[in-house]
Copies of this chain bind each other. A is one copy, B any other.
Amino acid sequence: MILRQLFDHESSTFTYLVADEATNRAALIDPVAAQVDRDLKLISELGLTLVMVLDTHVHADHVTGAGELRSRTGAKTAASALGAPCVDVKLNAGDVIAIGGLELKVLATPGHTDDSLSFLLEGHVFTGDALLVRGTGRTDFQNGDARTLFDSITRVLFGLPAETVVLPGHDYKGFSSTTIAEEQAHNPRIAGKSAEEFVSLMQSLALAPPKKLDTAVPANRACGQALPTV
């Protein structure tokens, strides 16, 4: 498997390129609109064919590159059935997506948003904004819910094998990956905490709204491209 972690400095977003070396078929997870040229150039240089663009959820802090990638390459877009109505493939928990010979399994991990998914692929889990390295996504908008996020992390993600590599949707401190075992032991919001303690902690954060909330969410429900005028 080819796996590349890419970063957008403006929004601190990780995008992942994954590909099956046997067939050269590739997918992008959580692409950023401003980085589409970079990402397509890399895909071309590696001799890959982009067949699928997956978003872990409707983002509030950057605009997805999904729609532009679809229009420029013919790749299908995919996200939760609860999220962006624009996508070609509406994903549900338990779905398995083929990327050439690779099998990507869809996990429902709501709580940061109600449509948040994680993707399990060959011992790696792409957790979007549910589980970050030594952190979690926030839960105070887009139908976020701290109790739900606690359950997603502790029941769904922490149910994966301990050595599973966690690849998050964002990082702000210079980390690039972690493992399930590490977060079980050392995530300061979750390790040793009850659901009630986590809910109380998340309620106490009093974060400012994301700068792009009002524009990014409607844009992303349209796969990052303008909705047709009706």
Contacts and interface: CB of A to CB of B under 8 A. Distances in A.
Interface of A: 4-9, 15, 35, 38, 42, 45-46, 173-177, 182, 185-186
4 closest residue pairs by CB, A with B: A7-B174, A5-B176, A45-B186, A6-B174
A176 B174 contact: no
Contact of A35 (B6, B174, B176): B174
A37 to B, nearest CB: 11
B45 A6 contact: no
A4 B6 CA distance: 15
A9 B174 contact: yes
21 contacts: A4-B175, A4-B177, A5-B176, A5-B177, A6-B175, A6-B176, A7-B174, A7-B175, A7-B176, A8-B174, A9-B174, A15-B174, A35-B174, A38-B173, A38-B174, A42-B175, A45-B182, A45-B185, A45-B186, A46-B182, A176-B176
A118 to B, nearest CB: 20
Contacts of A182: 45-46
A26 to B, nearest CB: 15
Oligomeric state, in copies: 2
A15 B38 CA distance: 24
A182 B45 CA distance: 8
A186 B47 CA distance: 12
A176 B4 contact: yes
Given A5-B177, A38-B174, A45-B182, 17 more contacts: A4-B176, A4-B177, A6-B174, A6-B175, A6-B176, A7-B7, A7-B174, A7-B175, A7-B176, A8-B174, A15-B174, A35-B174, A42-B175, A45-B185, A45-B186, A46-B182, A176-B176
Nearest to A5: B176
Contacts of A175: 4, 6-7, 42
A38 B101 CA distance: 39
Nearest to A46: B182
A45 B133 CA distance: 13
Nearest to A32: B174
Give the residue among A9, A15, A174 with the most B Cβ atoms within 10 A. A174
Contacts of A186: 45
